[in-house]
Homo-oligomer: A and B are copies of this chain.
């Protein structure tokens, strides 16, 4: 038995007997894997899904389960939000950058309405109701939210805003419900599933991937794939060595989003045969401040008492900016009229009669927060925020007494996951260092770099996992 960390590829000539054979082997039974498996079966081939845990679901089943879709879905229309594919495309090109994969985004938008139907056809229920109070999963069963700061600067000047975060109809755990349907669809269609099977390496025959090798209940198993292997094995947020190697800021995340299976093995086993990666530095970081939205009347400041972002944008952007840009030294300053304990129980650590007292108690440099509040209030008096362009609805002068919620790492949860991974075509082919497709190897989901280069909106991960999972499954079935 090889070392747990070993991803060295295996030569097909070394395998005397295959323990199992299918046309397509899908590695990982999460969002991307279930979509790939279903689609491959529909294409008429024999599919084997391997899953290292005891059941399907992956990270998506633990997630809020938002799916980012637009261009005028039935849910958007029922809720009275007109949208166009062009607006969705312009938003995504701006929000997913810098330098996002233009081809993937174009395809993602073009297929958006069809993908909504595909999810509905798999039995996923969406409620045609809108929740205005959150950019995350609502406490009710509403099916639509703003999930990417579309209605805030700068995106509201780039594309007509529309909410595109779609949620399966259930009170919380919409990710779990989504995965119930998608996994059942794959199994129901006829995909075989091998649970408790951890794939460790690819099997290669003269440059072509012809199977995988791994561990099942302590035994080494070799699984042959006549047409193709699809890697849908998650990202690498649970591999601290890889984080240090590629994106040190994420090591400091306190609530990692994913499963322990997100150890990057899928990425590494493909790299080991010369696959290319991209955007390995990128990570989404949720810093859950709202609900309630009234807190957005406050201002976010860093360790120098300076503002650094428009507070009304997507909380995932706030989290990225706070962790990557401010080293996680961040506070929300709010006055009495706008203060509530937030949904996670984050409450004001300091409350004072004046900004000068507050900055002193917080240990900020003398005069720093006072100067920030003076400047903010000066413009807020006319409803403006020329520094960061927070929307007029959220801009009003801060009136003492004021307090601050401690949003530093530790007092507040920083919830990251990785966005970088294998370089793939829109059809799910994995590219090598020369930019050519590696024969027999396909991938989707967080094992790949998807529509997001660095920027993110809630729902884009499950969105591109399921959509490009479908395409990768179809490509593998075609061989």
Contact = CB atoms under 8 A, between A and B. Distances in A.
25 contacts: A8-B274, A8-B432, A8-B433, A8-B436, A9-B274, A98-B249, A99-B248, A245-B278, A245-B423, A246-B280, A247-B281, A248-B453, A248-B454, A269-B433, A271-B271, A271-B274, A271-B276, A272-B432, A273-B274, A280-B280, A280-B281, A304-B388, A325-B325, A366-B379, A367-B375
Contact of A434 (B8, B366, B368, B387): B8
A268 interface: yes
Interface string A223-247: 0000000000000000000001111
A336 interface: no
A251 B366 CA distance: 39
B367 A378 contact: yes
A5 interface: yes
Could you tell me the dominant secondary structure of chain A's interface residues? loop
Nearest to A435: B5
Interface string A251-290: 1000000000000000011011110101111000000000
Interface residues of A, number: 53
- Chain multiplicity (copies): 2
Given A271-B271, A365-B387, A386-B366, A434 B246 contact: no
A269 B276 CA distance: 11
Given A271-B271, A274-B271, A281-B280, A98 B248 contact: yes
Interface in A384-431: 386-388, 423
A454 B401 CA distance: 42
Interface of A: 3, 5-9, 97-99, 244-249, 251, 268-269, 271-274, 276, 278-281, 304-307, 325, 365-368, 371-372, 374-375, 378-379, 386-388, 423, 432-436, 453-454
A386 B248 CA distance: 27
A419 B371 CA distance: 38
Contact of A3 (B246, B278, B434): B434
Contacts of A6: 434
Query: Lowest 5 A-B CB distances belong to which pairs?
Result: A281-B281, A365-B386, A272-B433, A245-B278, A98-B248
Given A7-B434, A271-B433, A272-B432, A375 B368 contact: yes
Contact of A374 (B278, B305, B365, B371): B371
Nearest to A207: B8
Nearest to A449: B245
A433 B6 CA distance: 8
A278 B268 CA distance: 13
Contacts of A251: 99
A307 to B, nearest CB: 8
Given A280-B280, A304-B388, A433 B7 contact: yes
